[in-house]
Amino acid sequence: MNIAAKIRARRVEARTRKAVTRAIEQAATPSMRHELITLAQTQHVTWR
């Protein structure tokens, strides 16, 4: 994997992490929030 591909992959990961965090924060109900967290964990999405 070359440097440009690594940078692109890192950006995609950051974008995904931000989208997951935003979705969890804006979840309408606690059960929806829990569902989103569970999905993120099963897909190995890390968020900060």
- pLDDT single digits (tens) 1-48: 799 999 999 999 999 999 999 999 999 999 999 999 999 888 887 665
Total number of domains constituting the chain: 1
Return the pLDDT at 43: 84
Return the pLDDT at 28: 95
Q: Is 48 part of a structural domain of the chain?
A: no
Return the pLDDT at 11: 96
Return the pLDDT at 44: 80
Name the residue type at position 40. A
Query: For 11-37, b where at least 16 C-beta lie within 10 A, e where not — what string?
Result: eeeeeeeeebeebbeeeeeeeeeeebb
Which range marks the domain in which residue 23 is found? 3-42
Q: Is 28 part of a structural domain of the chain?
A: yes
